[in-house]
A and B are shown apart, each in its own frame.
Chain A
Amino acid sequence: MTAHIEIKDVVKRFGAATVIDHLSLSIDPNEFMVFLGPSGCGKSTLLRMIAGLESVDEGTISINGARIDNLPPGKRDIAMVFQSYALYPHMTVADNMAFGLRNIGVAADIISARVAEAGRMLEIGHLLERKPGQLSGGQRQRVAIGRAIVKEPKAFLFDEPLSNLDAALRVRTRVELAQLRHRVKSTMIFVTHDQIEAMTLADRIVVMNNRKIEQIGTPMEIYSRPATRFVATFVGSPTMNFVPVRVAGGETGGATVILGDGTHVKTAIPTMKLKAGNFTLGIRAEAVRVAIDGQGVTSGTVDVLERLGDRTLIYTKLKDGSVVVAEDIGYSRVAVNDTVSLSIDGSRVHLFDASDRAWHCEEGLDG
């Protein structure tokens, strides 16, 4: 069973504060959808409205065409994995998983078959008679997922399920979740503030900020064509460089932008769509390279080096004072206080106007 979830014009208020403001969203059957955004932006609230744990003040939520926003949580055919796992401390692992099925009167032999199956799938079969207090964090996490799986719901909701795990376990569980979603055919909604989790797990990402949706798209769309400056800032590591520029205008094809130090950069962003004037240029570090033999378009002084092994991040200051992070090879010979020549890949830059709307490059234009 799987769910097509349709959220229409939903509003949520806590007292005088509007937490979700006229939000609409459609989630396809079997889709792995990630809600990504900073803490406090309303991700959990939206998820809990889908689950039925928060009321909906305006708008509707439907699953497969039927309205569910007025149904009690148990009647929505949805399972949720909580950040704190919320296992029943006094029940064994098996009872934790069986509880929901017993409440709807599923036959005992079916329950034990499903619990055993989930135990096998999640490799917690040997823990079934333990209580949650006797389990490690990672094991509890699996039990929480198992409790969701045995219900065979139309949709799974995850609220930051990895955030209580240590770094190594988080990465492993992330991979396992990615495998799990192919075995469990169901719609999944996953809430996180971690862009790497979002990028690695999602079919599509909903980037949320400040009560509303900034952008909906596949991970690569979000990464390479961020709709707003917020999305560009939030996704990607290191954070995208932002440099104030002027667009000369009066050209055809790709626009030429002029940096604060007078450097001209030819981009692949169509000129026609731009008004001449002041913009912010967005460039990821990977599009700014240390050029050999002074072949670059501009140069900067090295402030800090970050060696990541496979590559080196170089924090430079341009002549006008703007800070740009560039990328170099792992064995970079650059040293702090060096002056380095920088090349900028004009086919991988973005422009943001005063209202933070974004313009992107188009293929076929020279950068």
Chain B
Amino acid sequence: MSNARSTSIMGRESGDRVVLLLVIALALVMVAPVLWVIGLSLKHNAELMANTNSVFYPPYTITNYINILGTSSVFRWILNSLIVSGGLTIFTLVLASLAGYGFARLNFPGRDILFIIVLLGLAVPEQAVLIARHQIFGMLKLHNSYQGLILPGLSAPFGVFLMTQYFRAIPKELDEAALLDNASRFTIFWKVLLPLTVPAQATLGIFTFLWSWNDYLWPLISGTKKEMFTLTVGMASTQTNFAQSEGLGFLMAQAVFAGAPILILYLFFQKYIVTAVSGAAVR
């Protein structure tokens, strides 16, 4: 009797161990390139030109990082990226929440058609409108400005869609209870509904920030002045023609440097990112 039980526990334990080993193996596969990049970033360019296997033994150096910080504009670029990504994230959340509330809760003529038009925006690739947008922004003298970098990202059909669906899923009876509780429309939005959308806000905010931080194409063609580069564009601008072969260590240090803020963001919002990704899969 006790025998049967202990084998079943054994069975479960060894099953758990197999899963654990698989997870570790997968994690190694995932983390190996990252470690490779970090390793390369800690080597002299010249040494790597001879043989990249030198990454496995000393000497290691932080010269590459010092060189990055030595680039006069790098802190300006970080600031630009923070302003653009942060501003874009905040404005996207505000707009998507308001639009989502409107589509989910207000009755106005043309609402459903308008919603479909917004959704059609999902099907328009950025490249298709890039040239026209570049010209319009040129006429409006918006290039080389924060507005110019932020505005295009604010047409966020996915965000509007996400928030609309989220508001729709909240029972209308909550609004009605609040109406009977003497709440104004704004109070209902602000104190009753919006707090319930925090998970969606977190998802949308994180994805928007990550996307904007990594965005390269529009900042590259809109910000032509060095002091208006975002970090991605700025980093790329410091690369020499033969960076892949002659400046490998420096290149890798740049990658680490540009990715670090994302890593920090991830550590802070880990919980939300996991639920955001898995939630999207389950639903």
B170 to chain A: closest residue by CB: A89
CB neighbors of A among B182-203 (8 A): 182-184, 187, 191-192, 195-196
Name the interface size band of chain B.
10 to 19
Q: Determine if B260 is an interface residue (Cβ-Cβ < 8 Å).
A: no
CB-defined contacts of A103 to chain B, threshold 8 Å: 181-184, 187
A97 to B178, CA, bound (A): 11
Q: Which residues of chain A are within 8 angstroms of B180 by Cβ–Cβ distance? A: 51-53, 73-74, 78-80, 100
A230 within 8 A of B: no
Indicate if B179 sits at the interface (CB-CB under 8 A): yes
Least CB distance from B175 to A in Å reads 9
Residues 54-98 of A contacting B (Cβ, < 8 Å): 72-75, 78-80, 82, 84, 86-90
In the complex, what distance in Å separates the CA atom of A104 from the CA atom of B176? Answer: 16
The answer to whether A53 and B183 touch (CB under 8 A), given A89-B196, A90-B195, is: no
* Residue among B171, B179, B192, B196 making CB contact with A72, cutoff 8 Å: B179
Tally of A interface residues using CB under 8 Å? 23
Is B114 interfacial (CB-CB < 8 Å)? no
**Smallest beta-carbon distance B247→chain A, Å:** 52
* In the complex, chain B residues 94-121 whose Cβ is within 8 Å of any chain A Cβ: none
Bound together, the chains give a CA A104 to CA B178 distance in angstroms of: 12
For A86, list chain B residues within 8 Å (CB): 171, 173-174, 176-177
The chain A residue sitting closest to B198, CB to CB, is A90
Q: Is A315 an interface residue (CB 8 A)?
A: no
Given contacts A89-B196, A103-B187, contact A74 B182 (CB under 8 A): yes
Interface flags for A85-119 (1: CB within 8 Å of B; 0: not) read 01111100000000110011000000000000000
Chain A residues with CB under 8 A of B191: 99
B181 nearest CB neighbor, chain A only: A100
A84 touches B183 (CB 8 A): no
Is B182 touching A82 in the complex (CB atoms < 8 A)? no
If A74-B183, A86-B171 touch, does A99 touch B178 (CB 8 Å cutoff)?
A: yes
Which has the most chain A C-beta neighbours within 10 Å: B177, B178, B179, B192? B177
CA distance A80 to B173 in the complex (A): 11
How far apart sit A88 and B175, CA to CA, in the bound complex (Å)?
10
CA of A87 to CA of B173, assembled, Å: 9
Q: Give the docked Cα–Cα distance between A151 and B177 (Å).
A: 13
Contact with B along A316-343 (1 / 0, CB 8 A): 0000000000000000000000000000
Question: By CB atoms of chain A within 10 A, which of B171, B178, B195, B196 has the most?
Answer: B178
Known: A89-B196, A90-B196, A103-B187. A53 touches B181 (CB 8 A): no
> Which residues 19-46 in A have Cβ within 8 Å of B in the complex?
none
- Min CB distance B27 to A, Å, is 34
* Neighbouring A residues of B182 by C-beta, 8 Å: 74-75, 100, 103-104
Given A90-B195, A100-B182, A84:B171 Cβ within 8 A: yes
Bound together, the chains give a CA A290 to CA B182 distance in angstroms of 60
- Residues of chain B with a CB closer than 8 A to A100's CB: 180-183
- Docked complex Cα distance between A51 and B177 (Å): 10
Q: Which residues of B contact A88 (CB under 8 A)?
A: 174, 177-178, 192
- The CA of A278 and the CA of B196, in the complex, are separated in Å by 63
Closest residue of B by beta carbon distance from A48: B176
Do A73 and B179 touch across chains, with their CB atoms under 8 A apart? yes
- Complex Cα distance A126/B192, Å? 24
Contact of B176 among A78, A82, A151 (CB under 8 A): A82
What separation, in Å, do the CA atoms of A99 and B188 have in the docked complex?
11
Q: Which 7 A-B pairs have the closest CB atoms?
A: A100-B181, A74-B182, A86-B173, A103-B182, A86-B177, A90-B195, A73-B179
A-B contacts, 12 listed (Cβ < 8 Å): A53-B180, A72-B179, A73-B179, A74-B179, A74-B183, A80-B180, A87-B177, A99-B178, A100-B180, A100-B181, A100-B183, A103-B181
Residue numbers of A with Cβ under 8 A of B are: 51-53, 72-75, 78-80, 82, 84, 86-90, 99-100, 103-104, 147, 151
